[in-house]
Structure 1
């Protein structure tokens, strides 16, 4: 007995007003999917509900089952389309999701997390996890602790919800590449396989070998500076999988299924390249059970210890920023209090006083409320990591 899954994932870069050629690209994505053999599709950054409803309506003939994960202010941007019945759905929102005052980044407003669609295919259950981790934004990686804890939370979520599934698929823009701490946590804790490390038959010549999915030289939207330094880009969009004990997986196709440009257009389908995975699952006999393949590095102890260190460093940073916010806010409050009655009745002075008051409130709110929320979320993740590390050590000792 065997069955085949053909999965597709793409970060659609669908930010209304901001994203270039958004409507044309969404239409082109629909045209491709209608002609493709994919039976499970995971999309990220579908920020407009109208875009999702358009996708749902157009794809209903080939992918009749779908779900959008509503979350936060803007929506999570995550949606899943399936050829088969989506039996159960659940969304796990991360406690750490960026900063509310980083409006130009917007991750906090999306209420990001990991969405689960449990799909029933005949008598088999397939857990499909769609997610989108926090980006680096080519800056000092101030979001490292957030992304690491998002990765750990995702890994634990997959591990704790996958016991009844025959196959688990994790697809999305993980904003982390092979070897990175976040990637190691996601693959090691739930023992997910990266098809890049497995032999692929590549029976479909139209699917190109996997390469960088972000800032790739072949993408029309790539940052020229990043392309000059790393022409192939970084492989941060992934499809990872794991099969239950009775099943053996054979990778038939893996890579980028889309052309560099939308047909008859000068632009690409998105600012990310798509990834597809076609994998055949065959039931093993009793004597073959031991042949099951696991993640190439099943020992996650070192990765967890490294994640704990990242959390400890972030705790120190948060404490320093809290002190700074409260000091500045307190000084501004004292200044405003001490200058009551000394401000001349002038529009310029009124505007200046309003700006100083707003800045004072911002600093006090950040120092008293926001930093406390971030610190508690960070401690929650850190203590979970410490428990994971301690429990594994105790189990080994036994």
Structure 2
């Protein structure tokens, strides 16, 4: 019997004091989700527990089941809302989370990682992974090795825990565009599919789905917009299905308006991503759907090189405030 999953992900930019219009935007996000048709919601950067509790209260009718992944000093910022019962939860904190002396970046204090909620829908098991990898912050990207190790750790977790599930979904801000080393690690090891590549018209659709620093977002950096008006596609929903099923992408893109209704600002400094998947029994001989990229050994070698170079920089004391 076929069924449909409608997944939503958004980096909410919910940093207390720092994030502009945080209260108004969180309220607007709740209002949107109350009216939308999503059945699974993954949020990142919900750094204030009060914001999570507000969302939980406002969305109780639409999403009676939810979980916030507590970690570090003030929480991971990750939470999942779902229409269906959560059977199990697990949080894997990454061993490398930025530098403790980079207080203004805050990643180390958040104890970031990847959260898993295993959902039971009728007799089907659905694994939902929510994550947020380390940001670049600067062009020299001293956190590349951190992000690469986080990506590998995430890919390894998905690969080792997805086998009991009929469907596995990884959603969140990966701070990596398709083709980037971190993105390749995450998709290749657990064979996750990028729904964008399954769209027949994805070449025409490309300039419409940059999720960060695009021309339509009120919080985008003008300098970055000038260089690349369509922005970067760094927020993703990836998936794979068990061999006895096949998946069809019904829709994929940003479901929210460019501005909060009645306000001059956007819902967040990132755009949301929504994916509607139709899952149905496979009509052919059971065959697992694999990612198009199959050069995992080359990817691993590239990752090792990045980590070795970072070790040299650390030893030479070139990484400072």
After TM superposition, the score normalised by the length of structure 2 is: 0.96
Q: Is the 8 A contact 2:7 2:275 kept in 1?
A: yes
Residue 289 of structure 1, CA deviation: 2.2
List per-residue Cα deviations over 1:145-172 (Å, max 9, x = no partner).
Answer: 0000000000000000111000000000
Aligned with 2:102: secondary structure?
coil
> Which residue of 2 is the match for residue 106 of structure 1?
106
List per-residue Cα deviations over 1:304-350 (Å, max 9, x = no partner).
Answer: 010011111111112112xx89xxxxxxxxxxxxxxxxxxxxxxxxx
> Which residue of 2 is the match for residue 64 of structure 1?
64
Q: Is the 8 A contact 2:208 2:230 kept in 1?
A: no
Q: Is the 8 A contact 1:134 1:143 kept in 2?
A: yes
Instruction: Check if 1:288 corresponds to 2:296.
Output: no
Instruction: Check if 1:257 corresponds to 2:255.
Output: yes
Q: Is the 8 A contact 1:200 1:254 kept in 2?
A: no
The higher relative CO (CA closer than 8 Å, separation ≥ 6) is in 2
Residue 45 of structure 1, CA deviation: 0.2
Q: Is the 8 A contact 2:47 2:76 kept in 1?
A: yes
Instruction: Check if 1:51 corresponds to 2:51.
Output: yes
Instruction: Check if 1:177 corresponds to 2:177.
Output: yes
Structure 1 stretches of at least 4 aligned residues deviating more than 6 Å after TM superposition: none
Q: Is the 8 A contact 2:193 2:290 kept in 1?
A: yes
Alpha-carbon spacing, 1:208–1:155, altered in 2? closer, same or farther (3 Å): closer
After TM superposition, the score normalised by the length of structure 1 is: 0.78
**Superposition CA RMSD, Å:** 1.9
Q: Is the 8 A contact 1:209 1:255 kept in 2?
A: no
1:241-280 alignment, distance < 5 Å: 241-280=239-278
Aligned with 1:233: secondary structure?
coil
> Which residue of 1 is the match for residue 305 of structure 2?
309
Instruction: Supply the distance in 2 between the matched residues of 1:162 and 1:298 (Cα, whole angstroms).
Output: 19
Unaligned runs of 5+ in 1: 326-362, 367-398
> Which residue of 2 is the match for residue 7 of structure 1?
7
Aligned with 1:156: secondary structure?
helix
